[in-house]
Amino acid sequence: MSYWNSEQRSCVRYRRHFLVDNSVFHGELSAALMSAGLRLVSDSAFIPAF
């Protein structure tokens, strides 16, 4: 019984750790995409639209 409890606890802890890592990864990814998009927009601003 105690073995199953420790297994369950470690699984929950791992899942929480994975969720936190995933949210941090998504935040960094969206920030990188936003900076890349801003760089593309600022680069294309110098190109005439005509």
The DSSP secondary-structure symbol of 48 reads -
State how far the Cα of 15 lies from the Cα of 17, in Å rounded to an integer: 5
Tokens 């994975």 locate to 18
Q: What is the pLDDT of residue 14?
A: 73
pLDDT digits (tens, 9 = 90+) for 7-25: 777 777 777 777 788 788 8
Helices and strands in the chain, H and E counts: 1, 0
41 or 30, which is more confident: 30
pLDDT-derived band at 3 (thresholds 50, 70, 90) equals low
Averaged pLDDT for residues 23-41: 86
> ∠23-35-41 over CA atoms, to 5°?
140
At 23, list the tokens.
């949210």
Find the range with the poorest average confidence among 2-6, 10-14, 25-29, 35-39: 2-6
